[in-house]
Amino acid sequence: MVRAISQQPVEEYPAGVYTDEMVVWQLGEFHEARAADELRRIAAFSPDALSVRFGRTREELVAAASEALAKIGVG
């Protein structure tokens, strides 16, 4: 699932936590060091990338990836 996350936000109805943000958060909670490269890739996304329909940016996802890397201890 983490490999499928792209810089362009998916058009997902805003009903709480977005799927990709939950995946990234869960990897941090599990201290999943095997996901470090993917988390670094996501942390490097432009936080301003925008979805057209709902105006979602990548700001929260980028922050979640950075927090997950900190939890894993590989920053």
Q: pLDDT tens across 2-25, in order?
A: 999 999 998 888 788 899 999 999
Q: pLDDT tens across 50-63, in order?
A: 888 888 899 999 99
Measured CA to CA, the distance from residue 20 to residue 25 in angstroms comes to 9
Q: pLDDT tens across 24-40, in order?
A: 999 999 999 999 999 99
Measured CA to CA, the distance from residue 50 to residue 72 in angstroms comes to 28
Question: Percentage of the chain with pLDDT > 70?
Answer: 99
Measured CA to CA, the distance from residue 42 to residue 54 in angstroms comes to 20
Residue owning tokens 């700001």:
59
More confident position, 53 or 1: 1
Query: Is the separation of the CB atoms in 39 and 69 below 8 Å?
Result: yes
pTM above 0.75, yes or no: yes
